[in-house]
């Protein structure tokens, strides 16, 4: 898991953005909903259980709890409260740099060292580790969506 707090170089979004929240939600229940979608295929532009891309997945899961997230990764990175790596909780959004410079991938923290996401075109919705050799160095920051 990343060991340092986000820096100005990696976490340039404002500390508090906005997301339309219509009802309170439980992070553990949200994670349960996300985990129930494991095995769903990746589909570029996908926003439903027929197939998801990363931000379509997070948007869909949060919508099940009355939370409206923006559609794109970069827009999702601007909402909610900044969360330090050591304070990650189930249901937090976690962000990475992958295909493009800056934020280009989003996932949902499960708890501990794990997150669930819709990875690249060869994948399915699955759980991975923040501390892995691939994801650890690509971690950019996290956001907590609150009422």
Decide if 117 is catalytic: yes
Written as six digits, the tokens of 48 are: 């439903």
Single out the residue of 146, 27, 13, 23 nearest to residue 89, CA to CA: 27
Written as six digits, the tokens of 10 are: 């990696």
> 13, 54, 83, 94: which one is catalytic?
54
Tell me the C-alpha distance between 71 and 87, whole Å.
Answer: 25
Asked if residues 27 and 89 have their Cβ atoms less than 8 Å apart, the reply is yes
> 105, 114, 119, 140: which one is catalytic?
105
> 2, 95, 117, 142: which one is catalytic?
117
- Which residues are the active-site residues? 54, 105, 117
């Amino acid at each position: 898991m990343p060991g340092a707090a986000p820096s100005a170089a990696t976490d340039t979004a404002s500390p508090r953005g906005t997301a339309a929240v219509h009802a309170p939600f439980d992070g553990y229940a949200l994670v349960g909903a996300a985990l129930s979608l494991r095995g769903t295929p990746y589909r570029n532009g996908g926003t439903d259980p027929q197939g998801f891309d990363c931000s379509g997945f997070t948007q869909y899961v949060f919508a099940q709890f009355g939370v409206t997230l923006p559609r794109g990764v970069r827009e999702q990175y601007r909402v909610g409260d900044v969360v330090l790596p050591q304070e990650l909780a189930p249901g937090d959004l976690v962000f990475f740099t992958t295909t493009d410079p800056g934020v280009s991938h989003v996932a949902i923290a499960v708890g501990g060292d794990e997150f669930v996401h819709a990875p690249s075109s060869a994948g399915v919705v699955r759980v991975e580790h923040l501390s892995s050799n691939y994801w650890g160095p690509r971690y950019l920051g996290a956001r907590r969506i609150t009422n």
